[in-house]
Each structure stands twice: as structure tokens, then as C-alpha cells.
Structure 1
Amino acid sequence: MKTFDILYSVLRYIPSAIRMETIIVGLAIHIPFKQYSHFYKIKNTRRIASFDDEYDKDFFRMIMEGLSYDLNYSREEYTEDLFNDKKKRFTDIQQENFLDTRISYLANEFQFSPIESLQTSDDKVTKDVKDLQKMYLYYDRPRSERITKTEVRNLLSKQLNSYNLAHITKSPKIYDDFGGNNLYDYKINNNILIKAISFDYKRINQLSTELKNVIYDLKQLDTANISKIILTRNDNLEFIPEKNKLAFKQFEIEIENIEINRNLKIDLIPLSELEETLNKTKA
């Protein structure tokens, strides 16, 4: 079965360069093989108003409409006669750098993440695009339709497959103290471990238990041949309950202490920064 890449980038709104607090407001997707591109913008704009009560809604709308104009194209949607002008604007739709040329001009309040890739196929591309929307435009959906941890792990898997890494091991044989649960999702080049975790549990007790388990396992890990651990977390932390935010902050502190005490590099990153993080490791 032929595979091909979904290229994507996450748009963040940053109202203050000093505080550097961010909220995800859009997702740009490009599939060169399918001659498809689309900008998925946040629907629940009330969350932006609650995040930044001074935001200019007219300016915000103008940015969103401009990105839709620059990015929205589907080979199957248009006819030559009615959309000839649009076809002229998208003559580069099959080029790998198409997305970069369309989003690189934004800066300051609106910033796109580095472009990531996700390996897919004809029978999975529709679901993968929907899962990316569920991942990054999380609060646009009711609770029952939000992305699950299993779906996050599937995205992680497809993202890693698209990188064409020389040495990648799924579910490396690193078990908990009881020998039953595999602690990490992947090992890269025999010295980098990757694990997907979540901070958006409904119950604080469930979240606290998972984070404590991650900390405990990190403290017990044999790091003789490990140079780095990458913990990929979900985005959309700006609207989680205050207790969950406090748990996240404490988790970050514990991570820093482990790095110092065990001389171990641990990156806690959103999935949209994975390739950039791996590239920095190579440098």
C-alpha cells in the first residue's frame, strides 16, 4: 500500500511577548500527494476572549480569513472553468515547501510551529486529518469526541515513521517493577526513549497517579546507555482545571530535579515539536 505524508503546522496566538502565554487558534495541513491544503481555524472564539480580554476580534478575523484564502485548496473540489484563478494561485500545491511559503511571514502575536510530517495512506488519511484536528483544536469538540490517549500514541507512531529514522524500536523491553507494563513507547538509535503522556484527565487523582508513576519510573531507570528521554504531552493546557495546572508545574519541577540528580536530559514537549527536538539531538 502506497504511503505519503501529511505536513502540518500549529498556529498559536501570543498576546504578550513578555508573558509568552499561548493558545492554539489554528491548524494548517498540506498533503502534496493529494494536492490538498486547508487551514482549520478555532471555532470557539469565546475561549480567545477569556484568554485575552483585550484581543482585537476584527484583526483576529482578518488573519483567519487571510490564512484560509492562502491555504484552502482541494484538487477534487474545483473545476477548470469556475476556479481558474484559484488554480493559478495554487500551482505549487504539490511542492514540499508549499506550506512553508504560505505561513513563514507570520510573527509576533501569531506564530506557526515548525512543520511536522505524519505518514498516512489512502485508507487512513481522512481519519488522520480528523485526529490532528482533535489533537490540536481540542476544545472545539464535545468531551465525548475528544482525542484519546490511544489516538495520541497512533499519531506519535505515524509521525516517527515519516522521519525515516535508521534505528527505531517500538515498545522497547523496559518494564515496570512488576515486569508487566512496558514503560516507553519507542527507543530511537538505542539511546533515546520516547513516551506519550497526557495532562488532561478529568479527575485530578487519575492525573496525579500517572505523573507520580512517570516520576518514579524515571528515578528507577537504568540510564547507562540512555542519553535523552522525550516525553510528548498534549497541547491545549491553557484551559485545564487549575488543580491540573498546579500538578503540571510540580511535574516540571520534579523533571528538572531528576535531570540534575541523574545527569539525564529530559524534554517535555508537545507532539508538534518532536521532529525539531530530534533534529537538535543530532546536531
Structure 2
Amino acid sequence: MNFNILYTVLKYIPSPIRMESIIVGLAVHIPAKSFSHFYKIKNTRRVAAFDDEYNKDFFNMIMESLSYDLDYQENEHPEILFDNKKERFKDIEDADFLEERTAYLANDFQFSPIESLQTNDKDLKDDLEDLQKMYLYYDRPKPQRITKTEVKRLLKKQINSYHLSNLVMSPKVYDEFGGTNLFDYEINNEIYVKAISFDYKRLNQLSSELKSIIYDLNTIQVSKVILTRNENLELLPKEQLSAFKTFKNKLYELEKSKNLNIHLVPLSELEQTLNKI
């Protein structure tokens, strides 16, 4: 039987002027399993490097507070429930549990809009692992980080959780050379979705993919496109970050010259973006 994982990512935004952010946590809720957990960033050295005014004690206080508010699973050992935890989590099966527990944060710490991911008992462990690999990307050594194949799998599960009535996987949109693997999904006969990554080991591979996307968007007949990307791009190596900024500028130029509606967003903002276009 399928059920949903609800999740939201926590962003640390030290400057309201620059509005640059780094993901420092992931909150998940599974109403069907009476489960909730806050996965916090382990590599806090990256947070300190990101913010030269980083306050370790204040940061840790926020993280521990969120763990207190969010960490729960059924059948925990009795000694863990000494503080009337069952009473504190009596709403654990409610659909709006996660929203209620995360809505109060603002300013330096902000949760993204809640997203959903369709899963089942067989895939649940792997899906939770992939979500952590996706959003707490730099907590892991390079060989253990999420792959593009795993990102596409998450995209598939996330889109399936929306229960869209008009959804086509691998739509037949042809490029000038007869190729069709241009997009991962077509929604409502007008919105095309593709997962991309900027975290390539070789800059030439990244450059080739980005140039291919720009060329295709300039030559094929589509009007609404969503490109889902990886998070925490601020922490990419300088060359990849420069490629991301150039790519964004090229997309903006295409929007103007071809009258396209293009959104380059992290996976955690997919549903919000779909609702806007």
C-alpha cells in the first residue's frame, strides 16, 4: 500500500539583505506510520564558513529545540517517553502536523513549503535515505552522495504523490535530430519537467548538458518548463557555481526572446511552482 512522506527543508539565512541561504535540516512526517523526525546537518563547519558571524551556541539551541518538537515514532522505549511525549505528540497522525510544528520559525531560520513523496513499506528506508542525501548533501563523502539517477527517482515519487490526472512520463518531444529524451514529464499537455544537476566532477560534462538544454529550449516548441535542480548551490566549487549563474542568465534571455515560461527551482519547491504556472 502506498502512503506519503511529507517533508520540508530548513534554511539558514543569516542576512535578510543578501538572502543567501544554506540548508541545515530536513523535517519529515509520515502520518500513516505515526513517525516524525528532524535530520539536522552534521557538518556544521560549512555553516561556520558560510556565515562569518555564526553563533555556535544559538545554532545548536535551535537544532535541539526542533528535535524536541519533531522527533517521534511509535513504540519508542518507555524510558524515552518520560516527559509525557505521547501527550505532546497526540496530533502525530494529523495531516497538518508538520506545518503546525514548523510554521513559527522566521528570519534567520525558515522552512520551505511542505512537499510530499509517495512511498511504500518496501521503499520507505531507501526514500528517507535519499531525501537526506538530497538535502543534507555535504554531510556525506563524495562517493556516498546522491546520484542523478536517484534524483530522478525522487522526482518520480514526488510527482506521483500529487495524483495528477494528466501526466506523461518521458513525453515524445523531438529535438532537431529526432531525439526524444528531452524531458522527464509532461503535465496537462503544456508543462514540461526535467531534473538537472550542477554537481558534476568534470566541468566539461556539466557544460555539455547545460548547452544542450539551452539549445533545445531555443529550437523546440514548448512554452512552460520546470527544471528541478540540486540544493545548496552556494557551496558548489567556484567553476560549477559560475556555470549555474551563466545558465540562469541564458534562461532569462530565452524567456524574453522566445516568450517562454521557465522555472529553475530545487525539488523542494516543485509543487509550489506547479501551482503558480
TM-score between both structures, scaled by the size of structure 1: 0.95
Aligned match for 2:233, one of 207, 225, 237: 237
Aligned match for 2:252, one of 247, 251, 256: 256
Q: Out of 61-70 and 180-189, give the one that drifted further.
A: 180-189
Q: Distance in 1 between matches of 2:191 and 2:79?
A: 50
Percent identity of equivalent pairs: 64
Cα pair 2:172 2:180 within 8 Å, conserved: no
Q: Deviation per CA, 1:168-211, whole angstroms, max 9, x where unpaired?
A: 00000013333345100000000000000001111111111110
Instruction: List structure 1 segments (4+ residues) > 2 angstroms apart after TM superposition.
Output: 76-84, 175-181
Q: Distance in 1 between matches of 2:118 and 2:101?
A: 22
Aligned match for 1:276, one of 252, 258, 272: 272
Aligned length: 277
- Alpha-carbon offset, residue 231 of structure 1: 0.4
Q: Which residue of 1 aligns with 2:130?
A: 131
Q: Which residue of 2 aligns with 1:210?
A: 209
Q: Distance in 1 between matches of 2:170 and 2:82?
A: 48
Q: Which residue of 1 aligns with 2:7?
A: 8
Q: Which residue of 2 aligns with 1:140?
A: 139
- Alpha-carbon offset, residue 82 of structure 1: 4.7
Question: How has the CA–CA distance of structure 1 residues 81 and 172 changed in structure 2, closer, same or farther, with 3 Å as cutoff?
Answer: closer
Q: Distance in 1 between matches of 2:9 and 2:131?
A: 10
1:115 aligns with 2:114: yes
Q: Distance in 2 between matches of 1:186 and 1:78?
A: 44
Q: Which residue of 2 aligns with 1:50?
A: 49
Q: Deviation per CA, 1:190-239, whole angstroms, max 9, x where unpaired?
A: 0000000001111111111110011011111113xx4x100000102121
Q: Distance in 2 between matches of 1:271 and 1:214?
A: 18
Q: Give the match's secondary structure for 2:263.
A: strand
Q: Give the match's secondary structure for 1:273.
A: helix
Aligned match for 1:246, one of 242, 245, 249: 242
Q: Distance in 2 between matches of 1:81 and 1:155?
A: 33
Cα pair 2:7 2:26 within 8 Å, conserved: yes
1:180-219 matched pairs, under 5 angstroms: 180-219=179-218
Q: Give the match's secondary structure for 1:40.
A: strand
Cα pair 2:171 2:180 within 8 Å, conserved: no
Question: How has the CA–CA distance of structure 1 residues 5 and 260 changed in structure 2, closer, same or farther, with 3 Å as cutoff?
Answer: same
